[in-house]
Amino acid sequence: MAQRNKVNSRRQFIKSASIAAAGLTLLGGGVGYYKKINSPEFNRQPRFLRPPGAIDEKTFIYACIKCGLCVQICPVEAIKLADSNKGLNYGTPYIDVREQACDFSCDSLQCVETCPTAVLDFKPFEIAGGEALKEYAKTHDATKPGFNPFSVQIVAMKSKVKMGVAEINTETCLAFKGEGFKGKPRGEDFKGIYRSPNSKTDKPAPLRDTTFDRDICDLCVTECPIGEKAIVMKTDNSGKSIPQVLDGCTGCGVCVMVCPTNKESIIIKPIREESHV
C-alpha cells in the first residue's frame, strides 16, 4: 500500500505540475476566461463533487490554480484532477465517490488546510471547531494536562462539511426491497479504502477486506463516518426498515462506495451554485 501511494503520488505530482502550468496559462487570458464562466458555456459544463470547503462553483473554477496540493495530501487518494476533455473544469479537483469516497480518516480536513488560494475555505471549519471547544469548556476543564482540544473540535469540523446530499433510489435499494446482503459489497478486486466507524484502528483499510452479513441491508447507515446525524434506519408505515437521509449528510460519499448493488442505489447530488463547506 505504501509503495502504491508513493508511485501514485509521484505520478500525480507530475500531472499536477503540468496542469498547474496549463492552468496558469489559461488564467493568463484573464478577462476572456472570466467571460467564459459567465456565459452559457458554463452551464453546459459537467458538475463535479468538489472537496470539502469548496466555495461557489463559478469562483472555484476561476480561482483554482490547479496546483494539485489537495490531491497530494489526501490520505485515501479520493481527490482527482479533471482531464482536458472536461472543458472549463480542466485541472480542477473533484471526487468520484463510487471509486473512492472522502472518509474523513485524515481527521483534519487536510485538503482544505493545504489549499493556497482558499477556494477550499478553511475558515468555517476553524470557527466551528472554536465554538465546539467553547461549549466543551462550559462543562469540562479544557486546561487539564494532556487534554487534546482537537478531539473535541474535529467532530464539529466534520459536521460542517457540505459537499452534497445523498439521494436514495428506492427502486433498487435492497432495504426498500426488503432484502439483506451477505458478502463483500464491491467484490475482491475493488480498490477503495476507508476507515469504518466500527474499526479498531485509526487507519483506513480496503473495503474488500470486510465481509458483511445483514438480514436487511444497512451498510449506508452503519458505515457512515458522520453517523446518526446524517443517515439512519427508520421503520415506514408498512413496518419495513429503510434508510433515511438527514440534514446532517455531508455528501462524503462513503454510503455510495459501500453500496453493494451493481449500479449504486444511493448517489450524491453535488451542491451547485451556493457555497458548500
Is the Cβ–Cβ distance between 230 and 268 less than 8 Å?
no
Strands 241-245 and 231-235: antiparallel
pLDDT in tens, 92-123: 999 999 999 999 999 989 999 999 999 999 99
Which cell numbers hold the place of 106? 485524515
DSSP SS3 for 267: strand
According to the model, what pLDDT value does residue 84 have? 87
What DSSP designation does 93 have? E
pLDDT at 205 over 90: yes
Residue written as grid cell 477556494 = 119
pLDDT at 45 over 80: no
C-alpha closest to that of 82 among 74, 72, 73, 92: 92
Instruction: Please state at what angle helix 150-159 crosses helix 123-137, rounded to 10 degrees.
Output: 130
5 vs 229, higher pLDDT? 229
According to the model, what pLDDT value does residue 26 have? 47
What residue spans define the domains of the chain?
2-114, 123-159, 164-270
According to the model, what pLDDT value does residue 6 have? 46
Which cell numbers hold the place of 245? 437521509
DSSP SS3 for 247: coil
Residue written as grid cell 482540544 = 149
DSSP SS3 for 146: coil
What DSSP designation does 120 have? B
Distance CA 212, CA 219 (A): 8
62 vs 135, higher pLDDT? 135
**Please, which residues bridge with residue 269 across strands?**
165
pLDDT in tens, 74-95: 999 999 999 988 888 889 999 9
202 residue type, one letter: D
Share of the chain above pLDDT 90, in %: 69
Distance CA 106, CA 198 (A): 16
Per-chain mean pLDDT for the chain: 86
Distance CA 277, CA 274 (A): 10
Task: Taking residues 21-33, report their average pLDDT.
Answer: 49
Taking CA 78 as the corner, what is the angle to CA 159 and CA 254, rounded to the nearest 5 degrees?
50
Residue written as grid cell 466543551 = 136
9 residue type, one letter: S
C-alpha closest to that of 243 among 214, 261, 224, 220: 220
According to the model, what pLDDT value does residue 3 have? 45
- This prediction has a pTM of 0.83
Extract the runs of DSSP E, i.e. beta strands, from the chain. Answer: 79-81, 93-95, 164-168, 181-183, 193-194, 205-206, 212-214, 231-235, 241-245, 266-270
pLDDT at 16 over 60: no
pLDDT in tens, 130-166: 999 999 999 998 888 888 888 899 999 999 999 999 9
pLDDT at 221 over 60: yes
